[in-house]
Amino acid sequence: MAFSKSARREKIRKRVRRTVTGTSSRPRLSVFRSNKEIYAQLINDVDGVTIAAASSRELDSNSPKKDVAKEVGKAVAEKAKAAGIEAVSFDRGGYLYHGRVLSLAEGAREAGLKF
């Protein structure tokens, strides 16, 4: 029997989380994508603290979703730089590395984050 779309994503998300962890020096860049919005946050899993976050809700834009995702990536990278973070571990959250998730990652890389 095949998995539903949400069950498949949850299975992949758990597999990714077993291997990707965040520390204070190299936090985890976690991505959540809904139908309308996209969210990114830097998480220190050792202390259980969110260091920085950005979302498309903060931006007032009527651009296509991929362009908005790129802006969110740049915003979270700027907040990371302000917090003194240069490198992160990327957690795609069970989503394919394609489309809006790819655009967010490219935006973060353009703004100077390394992963």
CATH of the domain at 42: 3.30.420.100
CA-to-CA distance for 48 and 23, rounded, in angstroms? Answer: 9
The boundaries of the domain holding residue 11 are 5-110
Number of domains in the chain: 1
Whether residue 115 is contained in a domain is answered as no
The tokens describing 1, both together, are: 């029997």
State the pLDDT at residue 1.
64
Name, in order, each residue with C-beta under 8 angstroms of 93's C-beta and a sequence gap of 6 or more. 9, 13, 16, 30, 31, 32, 33, 101
**Model pTM?**
0.90
Confidence of residue 66 (pLDDT cuts 50, 70, 90): very high
